[in-house]
Amino acid sequence: MTDAVRRDPEAVSRFVEHFAAQLVEAGVPRMPARVLAALLASDTGALTSAQLGEQLKISPAAVSGAVRYLAQVHLVSREREPGSRRERYRVHSDQWYEALTSRDAVIKRWEEALREGVSSLGPDTPAGRRLAETLDFFEFIERDVAAMMERWRAYRESRYQRPEEARGTGSAS
């Protein structure tokens, strides 16, 4: 049974647009927000470009751009449909974890740039002190996020792990 058979398409559409609007308010571009919300609302967690275009009433180019963005920030992955050249776009149950942990490399680059800035501007100048405080903030957050993510992994495993996920043979969705 498909999502459309079991659910009111208008209710699904309202959820998708409402959640997408919340993502947009948080800074996610509009089309990627809509595509992500549609994937999250799908039981399979995977839809083709055509399915996304039809559901969201957007062009293939809009789907492609949205998926490119979402893949870049580790919120969706691309996979081939078995026996086909068509791609499906999938959101996984751990997408938020993956997206947040992938930010670690970005934060490390920011920290390095901030260290250089403090050195260049001088640690005793107002700008240097501001950069040093920003650097301290990122280092503080980085320590707490690492500990929090470890607690999340343990919590998730105890609450949501399925046998196929434990073996690595199934896909979480």
pLDDT, tens digit, 9 for 90 and up, residues 9-28:
899 999 999 999 999 999 99
Write down the pLDDT at residue 173.
41
Q: Which residue, 29, 20, 119, is CA-closest to 73?
A: 29
Average pLDDT over residues 115-125: 96
Residue 152 CA to residue 146 CA, distance in Å, equals 10
| Stated pTM of the model | 0.71
What lies within 8 Å, CB to CB, of 165 at 6+ separation is 172
Tokens 């062009």, residue?
59
Handedness of CA 130, 135, 139, 144 (dihedral sign): positive
Which one has a higher pLDDT value, 70 or 161? 70
Q: Which residue, 143, 142, 120, 144, is CA-closest to 132?
A: 120
Q: Which residue, 33, 39, 38, 35, is CA-closest to 20?
A: 33
Average model confidence (pLDDT) across the chain: 86
Write down the pLDDT at residue 162.
54
Is residue 37's pLDDT more than 90? yes
Q: What confidence category does residue 170 fall into, taking pLDDT thresholds of 50, 70 and 90?
A: very low
Q: Which long-range contacts (CB under 8 A, 24 or more apart) does 115-120 make?
A: none
Write down the pLDDT at residue 95.
76
Is residue 166's pLDDT more than 60? no
pLDDT, tens digit, 9 for 90 and up, residues 41-84:
998 999 999 999 999 999 999 999 999 999 998 899 999 877 88
Write down the pLDDT at residue 1.
45
Report helix, strand or coil for 93.
coil
Angle at 83 between CA 81 and CA 86, to 5 degrees: 40
